Chains A and B, each alone.
Chain A
Amino acid sequence: MLSETLTSIFNKLPAKSVHAHCDGPCGVYDPASARIAAEAVLSMTKKLIALAPAGNDQASISAYNNTFSRFVAIKEEESQKAKKELLILWTDYFKPEHLSTYPDLHDTFWKAAKLCSACKVNIDQTKAEELLAAVQKIHSMFWSSKGRSDNWVTAS
């Protein structure tokens, strides 16, 4: 009881911050990380839609459940990864001055982040394709903002 109370007090104790973070951005950004994650989401979504038990016996059902769970877990993980990578680009790379060139920048990122959530919640190939398309749009914005026109190449 005393231990729990003390732990609670220590956790809430007001304290000045001491920084253990990276305050000098390395400046290395690349939408490729988001693209790979979005591709994985689409791939897992397609596999989930196509997945069916090999038979009605217990072994087949167990194998199906196991594979289904694994596919869902990967889809969940990659959706979250895509969202994280997009948020890094949105909040760290893009600056207010980019808005004049890309007036729909905020809307594009906001919708892309929403699509990441939708892909987690559902098994929806359309949403997964929309996510990949949104990442492609961000890819184009990103590279053109750097004055480069890198081609869109997917891994799958």
Chain B
Amino acid sequence: MITGLQQADKNLFHKPDLFTLFTLIIGYRQHLRVVGSSMERVLKEGDLVTYKKLNPKHIDLEIGDIVVASHPKTKNKLIIKRIHRIYQNKFDLRGDNYFSSTDSREFGLIELDLIIGKVDKIFTKRI
């Protein structure tokens, strides 16, 4: 296990299992492959993440959640960041790797409708 992580982050790490694989294959769950280092140490390049799509009727986002969002300036590009602050339904998204992250410090607050989902599982080669 990767040491030094918050418990909430540790809980996201899972070992590959048949059930998850099945849900991915039939498209019930969404999965993405991480590119870049702005979310290190939690996420490393090549990690596979699954996420729950946001339910518009029940938004359950909290500070500290890792989310997948559409890039506010580049079409068809997805970003993965952590919710740093929430201001009246606008989200301050930051990378954990402060020195190597393009995030709300640069592109400003993110509207709720740009947030696609919340990361619920991480599959990494490191454990």
Contacts and interface: CB of A to CB of B under 8 A. Distances in A.
Q: How many interface residues does chain A have, given as a range?
A: 10 to 19
B78 A21 contact: no
Contacts, number: 81
Interface string A5-30: 01101110101111111111000000
Interface residues of B, number: 35
B71 interface: yes
Which of A15, A17, A19, A24 has the most CB atoms of chain B within a 10 A radius of its CB?
A: A19
Contacts of B24: 13
B115 interface: no
Nearest to A10: B16
B63 interface: no
A3 interface: yes
A71 to B, nearest CB: 30
A16 B78 contact: yes
Contact of A24 (B81, B106, B123): B106
Interface of A: 2-3, 6-7, 9-11, 13, 15-24
